[in-house]
Amino acid sequence: MEIEVVTTYLEMTSPAQHQAKEGGRQDAILQKMAIPTPVLNHFFFTNVGRPWKWYSRLHWKLADWENCVTKKNVSTWIGTVQNSPFGYVEFDQQGDDLEIAFFGILPQYIGQGLGRWFLSETIQVAWKFNPKRVWLHTCSLDHKFALKNYLARGFSSYKQETAIEQIPAEGDPIWNTPHYYQSLHEKYGNAE
């Protein structure tokens, strides 16, 4: 289906711009995945992104996920609350720029005040990569408070684009990522 989507690009050019969320969470942490795990990235992308119509990787096979998460410039970080995973961040460092390529929370954790804390922690981690710029993009399909949260944490908008995008309809089987599961079965399904 065709949907008009407004994409907003945001950046920080100095750690001093970060407006951290006051009041920490003693029950939550953000931790780097030491071993790249494509299955986990697939899980988070599809489950965090489904309500917001993330469709860019729905056609990916297991090999695509493996190629992405094992790149030297890509790292995945998991947010946990009371030792349970609630969200993830995928960083992609390109030269002096660090992109927060994917960032989000599983649906059951939305509305618990984790978003502001999670973004603040993500920004603190991002600056530890020593980039000259941290950037991300959000769009009109994302959570209604996503853009507000990014701006409140100190990001500033530097570009906005409007485009008609072809997004799979709600009942389209692609949302179940059949290419991924077929490739997963081909690689591991017959293992004894």
List of E strands, the chain: 2-12, 28-32, 74-81, 84-94, 97-105, 133-139, 156-166
Structural domain total, the chain: 1
Query: Rounded to two decimals, what is the model's pTM?
Result: 0.94
The pLDDT score that the predictor gives to residue 37 is 96
- Here the CATH number for the domain that contains residue 148 is 3.40.630.30
The pLDDT score that the predictor gives to residue 20 is 87
How far apart, in whole angstroms, are the C-alpha atoms of residue 69 and residue 77?
Answer: 11
The pLDDT score that the predictor gives to residue 175 is 96
DSSP secondary structure of 103-134: EEE-GGGTTSSHHHHHHHHHHHHHHTT--SEE
| Domain boundaries, position 132 | 2-189
Enter the tokens of residue 2: 């065709």
Q: Give me the average pLDDT of each 10-residue run along the chain (192 residues).
A: 96 96 80 96 97 96 97 97 96 97 96 90 97 98 94 97 96 96 89 53
Reduced to 3 states, what is the DSSP secondary structure of residue 149?
Answer: helix
The pLDDT score that the predictor gives to residue 190 is 65
Q: Are 51 and 106 in contact (CB under 8 A)?
A: no
Q: For residue 120, what are the contacts with CB-CB under 8 A and spacing of at least 6?
A: 18, 20, 21, 153
